[in-house]
Amino acid sequence: MTRAISLHDVSKTYTRGVRVVDRLSMDIEPGEFLVLLGPSGCGKSTVLRMIAGLEDITEGQLLLDGEYANDLVPAARHMAMVFQNFALYPNMTSRGNIGFPLRIEAPGEDPGPRVDATARMLGIQDLLDRFPAQLSGGERQRVAMGRAIARHPSAFLMDEPLSNLDAKLRNHLRAEIAALTRQLGVTTVYVTHDQAEAMSLGDRVAVLRGGVLQQLGTPRSVYALPRNIFVAAFIGTPRINLLRGLVRAPLDGAMTVSLGKQSLRLPEPLCLDHQLLRVQQGREVIVGLRSEAIRLAKPASARPGEVAISGLVEHVEFQGHEILVHFNTGSRPAVVPDLEAPRPAARPSRRRRRDGGSVLGRFRERAGALRAGPPVMLDEPEDAEPEPDPSDTRLPGDLVVRTTPDIDLRRGMQVPLLVDIAHLFVFDQHGERICPAPTRLPDLEG
């Protein structure tokens, strides 16, 4: 048996009116593998615990197979949870741990056959007579998985089950979990803060920030069509390049996005996203460029849709199969709060700090009101050209590009770059992607 799990406007308030989950709605299909992804503290575990029945739902409805389930006791939901810290009983062997919930659920029955079948499935027959202290981290997590599987639950709820394991084991178990849950066909809700894990496991990924759902879609769609700057920056490595740009749309000429010292001329015909840019004339926007949207090549070799800029090599990161080159292109990075490694914020000008009605001030207000809105650090348009600062002769690298390791690059080299304009995201001042059709995937075959 597998379950459909639906949340309708579900909110959670622990104390003093702070909503840690804010009107969350989603429909998880029977057999689906759904990943809840977001930074630490965004409410992922709370959502999972509300689905499990371990936490009251403050407002909204939980439906299991279409039936109202807010008040159903955990046992009646037939769901199995797997936690980050394995949560095994230290005084029981693996056999005892796996069999324990079976003995509770069906006191008269011998759990032996099911425990053995589960152990075979997970390849842990040799571990059945050991105690948790005699197991490695990975083995403990396999036993914890076994305890969940043996119950034949209607859904798996997994809360960062791999976080306490080393990277190699994590990748290995990740593949195992994917294979197992598919084989069992049981609805799985999997919580992680690791975007790579989310992208590799999920049928769909729900991106949460500050308790608010930002986007729900297939890994491919959240990567290719991020709805806002937060999703764009949270998903993908290396992190998407986010630069502050100014739209210039003269009535009689080509539209450009000025990036400080250089500008991108948008080639005609404009792609779908960029057709709406004209109304941003004179406004500051944020430009998002994934590292694969830029390549190292001379202007003469530009393909249709590619635009030439140049960059000064600041730093070269050798990765083995590729290198990441950090360029200084004379543009200013945009800062997205809440991401694990924010880039340094621009120094606020004294004038702006006094001015309570600044754009930034309004963002902050809006952010306060909306908790999870994606506020971004932008200056007022008149600040787009800041006064030169003598200590600012070398800006930090603002553009990261990946390339093959056979190119010899050194700090200080000036390198020609080509930007694929079809892969240029533009976000408005509220961090929302400017796009006419948010649900359409670009033609990736084209």
Ligand X SMILES: Nc1ncnc2c1ncn2[C@@H]1O[C@H](COP(=O)(O)OP(=O)(O)O)[C@@H](O)[C@H]1O
Which residues sit at the interface with ligand X, rule CB under 6 A?
14-15, 20, 38, 40-46
- Please say which residue, 45 or 195, places its beta carbon nearer to Mg ion: 45
Name the binder of 439 from ligand X, Mg ion, none, CB < 5-8 A by kind. Answer: none
For residue 36, the minimal CB distance to Mg ion (Å) is 9
Site for Mg ion in 286-315 (CB under 5 A): none
Among the listed residues 363, 51, 370, 343, the one whose alpha carbon sits nearest the alpha carbon of residue 210: 370
# residues contacting Mg ion (CB under 5 A): 1
Block residue for tokens 């279409």? 66
Helix/strand/coil for 286:
strand
Binding mask 24-63 toward Mg ion (x if CB under 5 A, else -) reads ---------------------x------------------
Name the binder of 183 from Mg ion, ligand X, none, CB < 5-8 A by kind. Answer: none
For residue 161, the minimal CB distance to ligand X (Å) is 13
C-alpha torsion sign, points 393, 397, 403, 406 = positive
For residue 44, the minimal CB distance to Mg ion (Å) is 5
For residue 261, the minimal CB distance to ligand X (Å) is 40
C-alpha torsion sign, points 423, 446, 324, 308 = negative
Helix/strand/coil for 104:
helix
For residue 15, the minimal CB distance to ligand X (Å) is 6
CA distance 37 to 358: 33
Quote the DSSP letter at residue 420: E
Name the binder of 20 from ligand X, Mg ion, none, CB < 5-8 A by kind. Answer: ligand X
- Please say which residue, 11 or 97, places its beta carbon nearer to ligand X: 11
- Please say which residue, 46 or 280, places its beta carbon nearer to ligand X: 46
Cβ-based neighbour number of residue 190 at 10 Å? 28
- Please say which residue, 212 or 400, places its beta carbon nearer to ligand X: 212
- Please say which residue, 38 or 375, places its beta carbon nearer to ligand X: 38
Query: Does the protein bind Mg ion through residue 192 (CB under 5 A)?
Result: no
CB 229 within 8 Å of CB 286? yes
CB 407 within 8 Å of CB 295? no
For residue 36, the minimal CB distance to ligand X (Å) is 8
- The bridge status of strand 79-82 relative to strand 155-159 is parallel
CA distance 366 to 412: 41
Block residue for tokens 């200056």? 379
Name the binder of 94 from ligand X, Mg ion, none, CB < 5-8 A by kind. Answer: none
CA distance 398 to 394: 11
For residue 12, the minimal CB distance to ligand X (Å) is 8
CA distance 424 to 285: 12
Name the binder of 431 from ligand X, Mg ion, none, CB < 5-8 A by kind. Answer: none
- Please say which residue, 85 or 414, places its beta carbon nearer to ligand X: 85
Name the binder of 46 from Mg ion, ligand X, none, CB < 5-8 A by kind. Answer: ligand X
CB 118 within 8 Å of CB 146? yes
CB 372 within 8 Å of CB 210? yes
For residue 229, the minimal CB distance to ligand X (Å) is 20
For residue 26, the minimal CB distance to ligand X (Å) is 16
Share in percent of the chain as helix, strand, coil (round to 5): 30, 30, 45
CA angle 379, 381, 386 (to 5 degrees): 70
Name the binder of 15 from ligand X, Mg ion, none, CB < 5-8 A by kind. Answer: ligand X
- Rounded alpha-carbon distances, angstroms, from residue 231 to 80, 354, 395, 425: 29, 32, 26, 12
- Please say which residue, 45 or 215, places its beta carbon nearer to Mg ion: 45
Among the listed residues 433, 413, 248, the one whose alpha carbon sits nearest the alpha carbon of residue 325: 413
- Please say which residue, 42 or 145, places its beta carbon nearer to ligand X: 42
For residue 19, the minimal CB distance to ligand X (Å) is 9
Q: What is the DSSP string of 402-416?
A: EE-TTS---TT-EEE
- Please say which residue, 43 or 132, places its beta carbon nearer to ligand X: 43
Structure tokens at 133: 């202290």
Which residue is closest to Mg ion by CB? 45
Structure tokens at 98: 């796996």
- Please say which residue, 45 or 241, places its beta carbon nearer to Mg ion: 45
Q: Which residues bind Mg ion (CB under 5 A)?
A: 45
